Structure 1
Amino acid sequence: MEKRIINPWTWQDERNYVQAVEVKNVQSTLYVSGQTAINDQGISSSADMRTQIIKTFENIEKVILQADFEVKNIVRLTLYTTDHPAFFENFDIWQNWIIKHEIQQTTTVIEVKTLFETLKVEMEATVVK
């Protein structure tokens, strides 16, 4: 698999995403359904935004690793949140997770009116190998 990053500017670098990712010679693509802060028993978290972001990342990792893919090969993350300001108040979690896994992904953040039950954040991922 070959990845080429396209960034006509540099301002996105401090936000830990890229403008485009071209992927060639892909062996396989994994489309990860929206992951949230739901525990192993299927119970939705009622915790604060910070705790829900952390649990959501744990769940994304679990799905990706179970599928025998690598987290670093995420090429797209779409994030839905019910509270845009609260998400960005906890943006350090996002940045640290992206840096830890050396991910270079495209990203879209969308504020929605509600998510399932008590959830505040949901993330979808596309991963290649």
Structure 2
Amino acid sequence: MDRKKLPIGISDYKLLIEEDYYYVDKTDFIRQMIEEGSLITLLPRPRRFGKTLNLSTLRYFFEKTEGNIYRPLFEEKNITQWKDFDRYQGKYPVIMITLKDCKGETFEDTLYQIKIQMQQEFE
């Protein structure tokens, strides 16, 4: 019997699914966010409680790509049961920037790390 790996420190939804890590399906939060229709959604959570993973899941759900390459990531997930799944999945350009790894000894070092993140997203 093969055991799945624990996703300790993994905050990328695609990696979690493709590498078959343990995953508790919380994709229905996407439907909830859309149906609530808030202008702003805050995700206040303590450290290491899945904020970046939730944002990564949103990215892969909404991001428009050639051939909709992220669609298979949602097979057999709760969100596919939603009547509007096809209306929203893979339909929008997405910009995702995470600053969780932008750490430096000085303000200038941290600012440089932020600059690198912005540059990578631009590319």
Give me the TM-score of the superposition, normalised by structure 2. 0.23
Write 1 or 2 for the structure with the bigger share of helix.
2
Write 1 or 2 for the structure with the bigger share of strand.
1
Give me the TM-score of the superposition, normalised by structure 1. 0.23
